[in-house]
A and B are shown apart, each in its own frame.
Chain A
Amino acid sequence: MSDTLVVFVYALLTALATGLGALPFVLFGEVSPRFVAYAGAVAAGLMLGASFGLLAEGSEYGRGATLVGGLLGVVFILVTQRYLGNHEAPELIFGPAGVESARKMLLVVVVMTVHSFAEGVAVGVSFGGGATLAAVITIAIAIHNVPEGVAITAVLRPRGVSVARCAGWSVFSSLPQPLMAVPAFLFVETFRVALPYGLGFAAGAMVYMVLVELLPEAYRFGERAQVATLATGSAIAMVLFQRWL
């Protein structure tokens, strides 16, 4: 298999993992806001740990470049949020029923789809940083996608969408991952100087999303001590896992 195809397949696997988010609904029928909050806390920890890995790898190639990339990543998310009107997922999921159903369903899918762009870039550039980094980032993002699938299903399911279709929309929201991973990979492979910028970009965008969305949501619907334990534990576990590989 050519390298490009490997990148595509890995990123497609992370996208498919999003569909697993519908699974709790098959098993339990419905899930509580608290469950979504704790799943989000684990996702936040994984992203934080994965970003530490990207940052460390980027620093090997150029510290300043990595930080500049990080700043670009933050700006990217800021701009997309402005463009989307800064809608937060929890309000979409459990907020008052002010927004009409169709619009709400559309919004949650759009928001999650935009998230996936930065994650796709992360998978792509991590392949530029070597096989170990690639494996770690791919696994982190695949696991982190599952709670995103949970969030999407939590909005769509009560509105009469079948579980299979919820899984389908969840996977759809992550399709930017394979689509962004390949060009990101080719870019850093062709222009090696761009690698630290790319690694920094992915790290900055992911940490910013953690701070501005995942954590505040988790705090709103979960207990602080549990959220902090889950997030800290999964972040450190992620870093140790990467070192171990």
Chain B
Amino acid sequence: MIGWANALAAGLMLGVAYTLLTEGLGTALLAGGAGALLGIFFVRGAHAAAGTGELDADLVDLPPGKGYKVVLVDVLHSADEGVAIGVAMAVSMPLGVAMGLTLGLHNVPEAMVLSSVLARRGVSPTRATLLAVGVNAPQVALAVASFSLVASWPALLPWLAGFAVGALIYRTLVELLPESYHQAGQTSIAMVTLLATGVVVLLAGVVR
């Protein structure tokens, strides 16, 4: 189950990355590429600093003391997702709404994992929910920030779009996919991921 949830999330993120890559860069390829490198090394550096590089969010046998790391990882997640939503909104409002919905949907399995960790530590469901939402607060802040940045300085659009694309793809490849391969068969993982990507690409094309 968790494997498929991860694969679903991976597919949704790949779809969002594809959409931003085709819609957000325009002709500023170098800026987009530089932004993408920044995005990759932002997530990589954050993982290295937090020591969460090889942490599976599988959590059935999470050692005590690692719970806060799940929270930390989730906070990081919401950072580049926020940038992605802000950038998509700057490209066009309907696209932004579609990407927001997609990433919102993808937050659900993430929150499930987080809540199960908290519940095992005796945190009440209400507080767990609040914390799960709180963890995603940077998403809102960064979405607003990147949207208004791009609105003021349009030249920043390819940088931020590149950043979001690099971070999203890197995170899919470093966390979601390797975890999901441990949790379910490769064939079903590939199918779920592809299906999710296809749906996002289709959705983005329709609302463009």
Contact = CB atoms under 8 A, between A and B. Distances in A.
Interface of A: 52, 55-56, 59, 63-64, 67, 70-71, 74, 78, 81, 204, 207-208, 211-213, 215-216, 219, 224-225, 227-229, 231-233, 235-237, 239-240, 243-244
Contacts of A236: 21, 33, 36, 162, 165-166, 169
A207 B47 contact: no
Name, among A74, A207, A239, A244, the residue most crowded by chain B CB atoms within 10 Å (CB to CB): A239
A225 B166 CA distance: 13
Contact of B187 (A64, A78, A224, A229): A78
Nearest to A86: B187
Interface in B30-49: 32-33, 36-37, 40, 44, 47-48
A45 to B, nearest CB: 9
A64 B201 CA distance: 10
Nearest to A73: B194
A63 B169 CA distance: 23
Interface residues of B, number: 39
Contacts of A78: 187
A229 B170 contact: yes
A210 B22 CA distance: 21
Interface string B176-208: 011001000011011101100110011001100
B174 interface: yes
A219 B54 CA distance: 11
A215 to B, nearest CB: 6
B177 A215 contact: yes
Contact of A211 (B32, B37, B193): B193
22 contacts: A52-B18, A55-B18, A59-B201, A59-B205, A63-B206, A64-B202, A67-B201, A70-B194, A207-B197, A208-B194, A215-B177, A215-B181, A219-B181, A224-B54, A227-B174, A232-B36, A232-B169, A236-B36, A236-B162, A236-B166, A243-B25, A243-B27
Nearest to A236: B36
A212 B174 contact: no
A74 B37 contact: no
Nearest to B187: A212
A113 to B, nearest CB: 21
> Shortest 4 CB-CB distances between A and B: which pairs?
A211-B190, A228-B174, A228-B173, A212-B190
A56 B23 CA distance: 10
Given A55-B201, A67-B198, A240-B33, A216 B186 contact: yes
A204 B198 CA distance: 9
Contacts of A227: 173-174
Given A211-B189, A236-B166, A70 B22 contact: no
B59 interface: no
A55 B197 CA distance: 11
A208 B190 contact: yes
Contacts of A52: 18, 21-22
Given A229-B40, A236-B169, A244-B29, A219 B178 contact: yes
Contacts of B190: 74, 208, 211-212
Contact of B202 (A67, A81, A231, A243): A67
Given A225-B44, A232-B169, A236-B165, A243 B29 contact: yes
Name, among A81, A229, A231, the residue most crowded by chain B CB atoms within 10 Å (CB to CB): A229
A239 B206 CA distance: 22
Name, among B22, B173, B194, B198, the residue most crowded by chain A CB atoms within 10 Å (CB to CB): B173
A67 B29 CA distance: 27
Interface in B115-170: 162, 165-166, 169-170
A204 B33 contact: no
A71 B194 CA distance: 9
B94 interface: no
